[in-house]
Amino acid sequence: MSSILHVAGVELPLERGEALLFNTANPLSLTSESPWVCLTGGTLENTAMNQSEIAKAFERIADLLEIDGGDRFRINSYRRTSRTIKDSTEDLEALAKANKLTSMPGVGKGTAERILQFIETGTSDVLQELEAKLPPGLPALLEIPGMGPKKVALVHDSLDVKSMDELKAVIESGAMAELPGLGATSVKKIAEGIAFLESSGGRTPLGIAWPMAEALAEKVRRLTGVRRVEIAGSLRRGQETIGDIDILCEADDGEAIIKKFVSFSDVKRILASGETKGSVTVERDKGKELQVDLRVVPTASFGAAWQYFTGSKEHNVSLREIVVKKKLRLNEYGLFDGEHSVAGAKEEDIYEALGVSFVPPELREDRGEFTSEASFEDLVKLADIRSDLHMHTIASDGKNTIDEMAEAAKARGYEYIAICDHSKSSTIANGLSIERMQAHIKAIREANDCLDGITILVGCECDILSNGEMDYPTEILEQCDWVVASIHAAMGSGGKKLSATERTIAAMENPFVCVIGHPTGRLINRRKPMDLNMAAVIEAAKRTGTMLEINAAWQRLDLKDLHVRQAIAGGVMLSINTDSHRTQGFEQMRYGIATARRGGAKKHDVANCLPLEKLRQRVAKKRPHVTN
C-alpha cells in the first residue's frame, strides 16, 4: 500500500518502516512512527497511510499494556493484530467499508471494531485510557535504545521511575543495576542510549522538516496580499537535521500576514507576533514541538533577507569580512554604501556586488566557498539524474512489482534503473535464496524485454558477511549488471570477526561489486554509524574502481556530506540512490541531491548521471572478462 503526501502537486514518499504521522486533526503534526496524509487544496484527506498508523497504534497499545502489567494473552493479541495489519496487502479502509475486517487472520469482531474506530477517529478508547492511566513521562522511556516494555515496567514497579530524569537518577545511584535481570553492563548500554537520544532528539530530520516546511509555506502563499514565499535557514542548505524552520514572505502589510500565520490551526504555541515576524511551534512527534519563524519583508530587501537567513553563522561572518574590506554594510535589509542601497532585491546581486561568486545554498557553511579554488559550475542537480540504481520489489521487502517500479521511474524521465532486491542472508527483509534469485533474474530480463522507453538492469543488494565474503556466489553475481554490496548485520563486529572497514574493503576487492550501499550503516537520530575508517575505504574504492553510494533515504543520507567531499577528493565516483521499497520512494532523490551538493559533487562525479552505455563501460573496467 502506498503512503504519500501531496503538497503543491508534489508526491512525497514513505518507505517500509519509515512512515510519518500527520494527525488528522492537525495536518502539520508529524511523528516518526506514523504515515502521511494527503494535503491538497487546503483540505485534509486520508490515504492508505492509515494502515501503517493503525498497525503502530496497536503495537503501542501492546507496549503500554505490558508496562501496565496487562494480561499476556491480550498483549500478544494486540501484537498479532499489529503484524496482521502491517503485512496485509489489502486496503484496510476498503475492507472496513465492505464489513470484511474479520476476514483478516486473527481479527475478530472486537478487534474489527477497534480498527474501525482508528479509521474513523484517528485514535481509540483503549489507547486513550492507557495513556491517561500511566504516568505521562513513562511511555517516553520506550524511545531509549535497549529499553523495552519489560524494562520500563521493571524500573517503574521496583524503583517508582516515572520519567527520564528519574531514570537517570536511579542509573547514577546504582539502584537500577541491582534489579534482577539487568546488571552493570545492561545499565551502561541504557545510559549510552539516553545520551545518544538526547544528543540527537532535539533536531528534526530533513525528511520530516522538508514536507512540513513546504506545507506551511503553501498555506502562507495562499494568504491575501502575499506575493512570494521562500524557505530559508538550514533546511534550504539541505542539512540532514534542522533546529527550526525559517520562512520568508514578501508582502506589504506584514502585521496582517503575521496575525493570520499565528492563528493557523496547526499552531501549538505562539512565541512571538509582531509587525514583521511571527514565531510559533507546531507539533513534530510524541509531544515534541518544532519552531517555525515567518518573516515578512519588502520587495527591495527580499534577496538580502533570503541570503541573511539562509547562510550558516560562519558563512555570514566570512561574507561580512569581505563587506568590511570593501567599506560597505550588509544586513537583512540590504547591502549599503553609507545610506545608499547597493543591492537587496536579489540574492545574486549581493554576491556580485561584493565581487564573489554566487554560492549555492547547500554550500554556505564556510567550508572554503570563498577561496579561489572554489568552483560551483556543474554542481549536480535533480534534472541531471538519469537513473536510480538501488530499489526493491515484492520479490524481497518492496511493495511494488518490477513493472510498477519501472513504469514509475519511466514517468520521472529516467532512462534506466537497477532492481536490487535483498540477498539470502537478509531474512528479515525476505532475502532471495539462490533459487529464487535465479528466477528473479529471469523475471527482470523478461520485464526489460517487454517494456519500452526504459532499460531495467539486473541487480541485487548483496550482504557483506561478517567474514568479508559476499552472500551470493560468483555464479549469481556475474549474472547481474549491477551489484550493491551492503553491511546489514553484525555492524559492530571485531575480535575474531573482521571489522566493518575490513569487510567493506574485502567486498570492494570482489570484481562484481559495483557500489557499496549506505556505507556507514547509520540511521539518523536512531543508530550511530559503524566504526569505519573512511580514508582507508576511499583509498580502496579508488584502487578497485568501486563506487560509493549516497543513500537518499532521509533516515540514512549515507554517505553524509563531509564523506561525499572526502570521496570526491579521493577520486571516487558516487551513486545517488533512493533505496526505494515502493514507487513513491523515488521522490527521496531530492534529499540525496541536497547531500551531494553539500559535499560539492558535480555531475561528472555521479554514476547515475551517466548515459547507460557509459555506465556499462565503467562497470566493465572492473570486470573486463564479463561481456555486458
**Digit-coded pLDDT (tens) for 598-608:** 999 999 999 99
CATH code, domain with 317: 3.30.460.10
pLDDT tens per residue across span 113-157: 888 888 888 788 888 898 889 888 888 888 887 788 999 999 999
**DSSP string across 384-416:** G--EEEEE--TTTT-SS-HHHHHHHHHHTT-SE
450 falls within a domain? no
pLDDT tens per residue across span 480-538: 999 999 999 876 544 457 999 999 999 999 999 999 999 999 999 888 899 899 999 99
Are the C-beta atoms of 441 and 458 separated by less than 8 Å? Answer: yes
Q: Which three cell numbers stand for residue 362?
A: 547547500
**Shared-domain flag, residues 113 and 219:** no
Its pTM stands at: 0.72
**Shared-domain flag, residues 607 and 534:** yes
173 falls within a domain? no
**Shared-domain flag, residues 222 and 358:** yes
pLDDT at 627 over 80: no
What is residue 18's predicted lDDT score, i.e. its pLDDT? 35
What is residue 287's predicted lDDT score, i.e. its pLDDT? 63
605: phi then psi, degrees, rounded to nearest 5: -85, -10
Q: How far is CA 62 from the centre of its chain?
A: 27
525: phi then psi, degrees, rounded to nearest 5: 65, 5
448 falls within a domain? no
**Shared-domain flag, residues 95 and 222:** no
- Domain residue limits at 316: 205-363
Rounded Cα distance between 16 and 397, Å, is 8
Rounded Cα distance between 182 and 424, Å, is 34
Q: Which three cell numbers stand for residue 152?
A: 520500563
103 falls within a domain? yes
pLDDT tens per residue across span 202-240: 689 999 999 999 999 999 999 999 999 999 999 999 999
CATH code, domain with 496: 3.20.20.140
179 falls within a domain? no
How many domains are there within the chain?
Answer: 3
427 falls within a domain? no
103: phi then psi, degrees, rounded to nearest 5: -75, -15
313 falls within a domain? yes
Rounded Cα distance between 255 and 261, Å, is 10
pLDDT tens per residue across span 388-413: 999 999 999 999 999 999 999 999 99
Percent of the chain with pLDDT over 90: 64
Last residue in a domain, options 121, 156, 191: 156
CATH code, domain with 43: 1.10.150.110
Rounded Cα distance between 176 and 167, Å, is 8
**Shared-domain flag, residues 246 and 146:** no
Rounded Cα distance between 254 and 248, Å, is 11
**Shared-domain flag, residues 143 and 22:** yes
pLDDT at 610 over 60: yes
**Shared-domain flag, residues 209 and 348:** yes
Average pLDDT, the chain: 87
